[in-house]
Structure 1
Amino acid sequence: MPGENLEKNGSFKLKLLNMEPGIRANSSNQQLVTPSEANTERRLKDLTAKEVISVFILCFVNLINYMDRYTLAGILTDVQKYFDIDDASGGLIQTVFIISYMLFAPLFGYLGDRYSRKIILAFGVTLWSLTTLAGSFMSNFYLFVMFRALVGIGEASYSTIAPTIISDLFVKDIRSKMLALFYFAIPVGSGLGYIVGSQTSYVTGQWQWALRVTPIMGAAAVILILLLLDDPERGKSEGSGHLQSTSFREDISDICRNGSFLYSTAGFTCVAFVAGALAWWGPKFIFLGIKLQTSGGDVSENSVSLTFGIVAMLAGILGVPAGSAMAQYLRHRYSRIDPHVCAFGLLMSSPLVYCACVTASVSTGLCFFFVFLGEFFLNLTWSIVADILLYVVLPTRRSTAEGLQLLISHALGDAGSPYLIGIVSEGLKNIMAHGSGIETDYIKYKALQYALFITCFVEVLGGIFFLITACYIKKDREKVVLAIRATSDDQEVQNINASEPETRTLIEKR
């Protein structure tokens, strides 16, 4: 990245002394301290009212975002009966939503790095609220799917941009805590989606009413965004007032050469794959398992969805902050701890998910116990992956990087996993029922069980990707630190060490 893309105007020199470990110092002993670094010593009680309100708004919208996304999972059987569709078409509903979500994420990333993020967020929440409401009135399956695709466009704008606002409000441990709170809303919102979907459908007698709850909350969110949300200058929290947006081509080129971004995105894709598959098919699979138990009794899928939602929510409530706290506690001693925690989470989750799959027909309580543990370790990764992206990518490229990460992780992750699991399940059912032509409950259960085993292998693959990320994380983070300090208002840039390649590429001396 040439220096002219980092500096708006003025001549300056840079002191590169006593910076991050691994960067050679020159002859001076002066410590580099920017306003943002002083900000790293802040505690939660030091936050301003405006900052607290902004984080609250972002978390609230993230909560209803995921409530809306997983409401359908809690009423999937009712939807399938209404439209008379099989498992493959049932998985297609979520897959179409994710496809539009991922395809538009890079577009909103580009816009979010250059234009008002507040306006883009308000537009996105308005779009998905209106299209969710409209979809609830559709009686044609393909029209219903079309409106779910439009919902994905609206949600893409929010998910791409919101984390970058947090990154421009806070730094280091405070940023990590705020990101943990933000991503804490994902499992909680997902769990509430199951609960709201199943219970609203039960109370009203119509599954369509389950889709009419979040649009009301979305309208309130739009008002809060327009009136109270703070949209800070990009890079503000890190003390840089001279970072300038570059062309989209340069942004993509730089991001695609970032090893930490690429491998952490690959690992996060595996997380998305497993989360999407379990969220969409988990309740139905456990319901089929209960039906095979001699003591299964008369259990409805709505009640199973309610329990699954509570378990998933509790796993997220404990897992997301636990992962963030673990990383924060060890980060000052182990510079590569973030990807290691993510790898640990996935490698621990894999055997637990397998145990959940094999115990569903034996003991419901034991199955939910393994579901809880599997989801707990899976949730360790959520806020850490976001934190990694924000500190290995320049502030003016973070929305673009978020969009690109969403595109990749959803294209190869949860966009295809519900549909893939559904296709594999249907194929196995046809094979196992070939002799009789009758799909018994046992055949349905075993087919979906074998299909869900795929998630266990994907989690191991994700753990390997995060271990590879650890090889790049330190170097990529240091490059961003150098770039931001080079444009800080506080830095008198002098004594440039021409032997440092990072310095030559980041600074233009005039």
Structure 2
Amino acid sequence: MPAPWSLPRWRAYVAAAVLCYINLLNYMNWFIIAGVLLDVQKFFHISDSNAGLLQTVFISFLLLSAPVFGYLGDRHSRKATLSFGILLWSGAGLSSSFISPRYSWLFFLSRGLVGTGTASYSTIAPTVLGDLFVRDQRTRVLAVFYIFIPVGSGLGYVLGSAVTELTGNWRWALRIMPCLEAVALILLIMLVPDPPRGAAEKQGVATMGDPRSSWCEDVRYLWRNWSFVWSTLGVTAMAFVTGALGFWAPKFLFEARVVHGLLLPCFREPCNSQDSLIFGALTVVTGIIGVILGAETSRRYKKVNPQAEPLICAASLLAAAPCLYLALILAPTTLLASYVFLALGELLLSCNWAVVADILLSVVVPRCRGTAEALQITVGHILGDAGSPYLTGLISSALRAGRPDTYLQRFLSLQQSFLCCAFVIALGGGCFLLTALYLERDQAQVQQSGTGTRLLCTDAGLRADPTGAKSTGHPLNLLIYPFIHLLIHPHVIITPLLCARQDCRSWGVNIKSKPT
């Protein structure tokens, strides 16, 4: 018999508050280097392309370790794994502040170790919240949790630039963070429980006795979960854009003001950090508003339309694309308009963080959620922000090669390297539209399957999909079948936008799952 498990509501909310605080520190650590990027470049004598490689190393270590932490989080103590991650990233961050300019490669390595520690938290913490709360409560708690992505990112810029201004040395920003992280570790050990997987869905019944599927079966199940796959590709597009913007936007704004004659160029450190402060403040404000707006809209709209979550994500990304494009195009002529459209783009991007997490938790069975988070992080970073900062810097350096080395050319090359972001974010909106086609079927399978994944994993290749075809089991079919189906029935792409579940039959499309 499964053992009963319950937790007082106040303890669940205290645990959520601690996890939110650690998430804040997590993203402050992530973006603190971007806030002092000009100083780091001067200190280590590195170019734009090598500076972009800093973030690429960080993300590469993160994505390589995320599957490991996902596996551990689904099978072992999540609290112990989280504690190890915090110790690793705080120790690596502190040690990086003492590296000499002669050993710049050690600084790159230390940023990679910080990324490894970050992977443990980004992978496991949302699954703990998913086991503490359910339904509307979970949506609200996830909204608060994911508010700290933009807030932490913005405060990373602010802390890095403010500490540099006060001390005259950018390295002190890296020495303050471990003090805050030591407090976080103590709070985690004392106040955060490790609930049984699926405890919230089972209304207090532990599920430790359920059959255990293998890691390979978990991965096979996830690769055949169409909602998970398309939403992961949408998250990848978001990660690509936020990675490039988060790393290069402060420098882009600084060079724009130099071109407009509002600032003098930076010849020696510490460089003017006002643009990092402005961009950090924009990120914090738009992040708070965007996450709350997206979560509340999702919570209310899905009572009317069960496909509300992916439709909200699609609409916000498709609206963000022209905003980012206009922010870049208008920067040489009017900085005010550029700031306005940049803020609107960030606001629309921030609408998706909590909604995307809710999609994953609703379409993936509890015992597979750690692995699902890890795979989403891995794919999102491999194709997204692992390469986008480096690619942006590389394009900028390539465009500047052979041209006069003027501040105008530096600004224009960085501006032109940013333009691909508008196209990528529009592709992300299309991925979320495809997610809407499969959402109800995958949610129904989660509700029917309980907490075990073995049945789903072993017969995933035989389940009927919305196209009426059987899966052949090859991962490439996840990309091939939807496009074939859209060529035959192009009207299905607009069906989720025009009808609720009860009205779909009048369009000649049945988006509900067929009986197995």
Question: TM-score, with normalisation over the residues of structure 1?
Answer: 0.84
The alignment yields a C-alpha RMSD, in angstroms, of 2.2
Give the one of 89, 106, 123 matched to 1:143: 106
Spell out, residue by residue over 1:16-60, the C-alpha distance to the aligned partner (whole angstroms, 9 max, x if none): xxxxxxxxxxxxxxxxxxx99xx9xxxxxx972211110011000
Alignment of structure 1 residues 173-212 onto 2, 5 Å: 173-212=136-175
Structure 2 match to 1:83: 44
Give structure 1 stretches of 5+ with no counterpart. 1-7, 10-34, 40-45, 488-499, 503-510
* Contact kept? 1:176, 1:387, Cα under 8 Å: yes
**Distance in structure 1 (CA, Å) of the matches to 2:330 and 2:174:** 32
Shift of 1:298: 7.9
Structure 2 match to 1:17: none
Which letter maps to 1:126? L
* Contact kept? 2:257, 2:263, Cα under 8 Å: yes
Secondary structure of 2:305's match?
coil
**Distance in structure 2 (CA, Å) of the matches to 1:414 and 1:468:** 22
The structure-2 alpha-carbon separation of the partners of 1:477 and 1:202, relative to structure 1 and needing over 3 Å to count, comes to same
Structure 1 match to 2:186: 223
* Contact kept? 1:113, 1:245, Cα under 8 Å: no
Alignment of structure 1 residues 439-478 onto 2, 5 Å: 439-478=405-444
Which letter maps to 2:302? R
Structure 1 match to 2:275: 304
**Distance in structure 2 (CA, Å) of the matches to 1:47 and 1:266:** 37
Structure 1 match to 2:129: 166
Which letter maps to 1:473? L
Shift of 1:364: 2.6
The structure-2 alpha-carbon separation of the partners of 1:464 and 1:501, relative to structure 1 and needing over 3 Å to count, comes to closer
* Contact kept? 1:290, 1:360, Cα under 8 Å: no
Which letter maps to 1:272? A
Q: Are 2:225 and 1:265 equivalent residues in the alignment? A: no
Shift of 1:244: 3.6
**Distance in structure 2 (CA, Å) of the matches to 1:264 and 1:298:** 42
Shift of 1:295: 4.6
Shift of 1:227: 1.0
Structure 1 match to 2:176: 213
Shift of 1:301: 3.7
Q: Are 2:210 and 1:247 equivalent residues in the alignment? A: no
Which letter maps to 2:392? I
**Distance in structure 2 (CA, Å) of the matches to 1:357 and 1:244:** 53
Alignment of structure 1 residues 31-180 onto 2, 5 Å: 48-139=9-100, 140-180=103-143
Q: Are 2:220 and 1:256 equivalent residues in the alignment? A: no
Secondary structure of 2:304's match?
coil
Q: Which has the higher contact order (CA 8 A, sep 6+)?
A: 1
Spell out, residue by residue over 1:271-296, the C-alpha distance to the aligned partner (whole angstroms, 9 max, x if none): 00000100100010111111111455
Q: Are 2:378 and 1:411 equivalent residues in the alignment? A: no
* Contact kept? 1:352, 1:373, Cα under 8 Å: yes
**Distance in structure 2 (CA, Å) of the matches to 1:402 and 1:325:** 23
Which letter maps to 2:244? A
* Contact kept? 2:365, 2:452, Cα under 8 Å: no
Shift of 1:439: 1.1
Give the one of 199, 214, 232 matched to 1:236: 199
**Distance in structure 2 (CA, Å) of the matches to 1:205 and 1:109:** 40
* Contact kept? 2:213, 2:452, Cα under 8 Å: no
* Contact kept? 2:211, 2:452, Cα under 8 Å: no
Spell out, residue by residue over 1:206-245, the C-alpha distance to the aligned partner (whole angstroms, 9 max, x if none): 1111111211111111111111102111101001644443
Shift of 1:297: 6.5
* Contact kept? 1:290, 1:361, Cα under 8 Å: no
Alignment of structure 1 residues 476-491 onto 2, 5 Å: 476-484=442-450
Give structure 2 stretches of 5+ with no counterpart. 454-462, 466-516
**Distance in structure 1 (CA, Å) of the matches to 2:263 and 2:185:** 45
The structure-2 alpha-carbon separation of the partners of 1:294 and 1:155, relative to structure 1 and needing over 3 Å to count, comes to closer
Identity %: 43
Spell out, residue by residue over 1:453-492, the C-alpha distance to the aligned partner (whole angstroms, 9 max, x if none): 01000011000000011111110000000112899xxxxx
Q: How many residues align?
A: 446
**Distance in structure 1 (CA, Å) of the matches to 2:263 and 2:180:** 37
Alignment of structure 1 residues 279-428 onto 2, 5 Å: 279-296=246-263, 301-428=272-399
